[in-house]
Structure 1
Amino acid sequence: MIKLSGVIITYNEERNIEKCLQSLESVVDEIVVVDSFSTDSTKQICSQYNVKFIEQEFLGYIEQKNFALQHASYDYIVSLDGDEALSEELQKSIIELKSHWTYDGYYCNRYNNFCGQWIKHSDWYPNKKLRVFDRRKAYWRGHKIHETIGFKDSNSKASKLKGDILHWTYQTYSEFNLKTEYFSTISAQAYYEKGKKAPFWKLWVNPSWAFFKSYILRFGFLDGFNGFVICVQTANIAFLKYSKLRELHKNN
Structure 2
Amino acid sequence: MRRACSSSTSASIRVHEAGGPVTIAAMPTLPISLVVITHDEAANIARCLDSVPFAADKVVVDSGSTDDTVAIARAHGARVVHQDWLGFGQQRNAASAHAAHDWILALDADEFLEPPLVAELERRLPALLEGDAAVGILRRSTWYMGAPMRWYRPMVGEKLARLYRRDRARWTDARVHESLRWEGRAETFAAPFHHLHNPTLPHKQLKVLRYAELKCRDWHAKARPPRVWMAPLVYLAAFLKDWLLRLAILDGWRGFVVAHVAASYAMYKRLRYFEMHRNPDSIAQAREVLVRHGLDR
Number of corresponding residues: 248
Match 1:136 to one of 167, 190, 204? 167
Q: Distance in 2 between matches of 1:9 and 1:177?
A: 21
Instruction: Answer whether contact 1:106 1:161 (CA < 8 A) is retained.
Output: yes
Q: Distance in 2 between matches of 1:5 and 1:200?
A: 44
Question: What is the SS of the residue equivalent to 1:133?
Answer: strand
Q: Which amino acid aligns with 1:127?
A: E
Q: Which amino acid aligns with 1:84?
A: E
Within 5 Å, give how 1:61-140 maps onto structure 2: 61-101=88-128, 102=131, 103-120=133-150, 121-140=152-171
Shift of 1:163: 1.5
Q: Distance in 1 between matches of 2:147 and 2:220?
A: 35
Q: TM-score under structure 2 normalisation?
A: 0.79
Instruction: Answer whether contact 1:84 1:168 (CA < 8 A) is retained.
Output: yes
Structure number, greater radius of gyration? 2
Q: TM-score under structure 1 normalisation?
A: 0.93
Instruction: Answer whether contact 2:88 2:176 (CA < 8 A) is retained.
Output: yes
**Mapped pair 1:17 → 2:45:** yes
Within 5 Å, give how 1:1-252 maps onto structure 2: 1-2=3-4, 3-24=31-52, 26-101=53-128, 102=131, 103-120=133-150, 121-151=152-182, 153=183, 156-252=184-280
The unaligned stretches of length 5 or more in structure 2 are 5-30, 281-297
Instruction: Answer whether contact 2:90 2:174 (CA < 8 A) is retained.
Output: no
Shift of 1:123: 3.0
Q: Distance in 1 between matches of 2:224 and 2:116?
A: 42
Shift of 1:122: 4.5
Instruction: Report the RMSD for the aligned CA atoms in angstroms.
Output: 1.5
Q: Distance in 1 between matches of 2:263 and 2:243?
A: 10
Q: Distance in 1 between matches of 2:196 and 2:45?
A: 10
Instruction: Answer whether contact 1:211 1:231 (CA < 8 A) is retained.
Output: yes
Question: What is the SS of the residue equivalent to 1:29?
Answer: strand
- The sequence identity of aligned pairs, in percent, is 28
Question: What is the SS of the residue equivalent to 1:214?
Answer: helix
The unaligned stretches of length 5 or more in structure 1 are none
Q: Which amino acid aligns with 1:179?
A: K
Shift of 1:73: 1.0
Q: Distance in 2 between matches of 1:123 and 1:31?
A: 28
Instruction: Answer whether contact 1:188 1:244 (CA < 8 A) is retained.
Output: yes
Instruction: Answer whether contact 2:87 2:174 (CA < 8 A) is retained.
Output: no
Shift of 1:186: 1.7
Q: Which amino acid aligns with 1:113?
A: W
Instruction: Answer whether contact 2:46 2:76 (CA < 8 A) is retained.
Output: no
Per chain length, whose mean CA-contact separation is higher, i.e. which structure has more relative contact order (CA < 8 Å, sep 6+)? 1
Q: Which amino acid aligns with 1:187?
A: K
Q: Which amino acid aligns with 2:164?
A: F
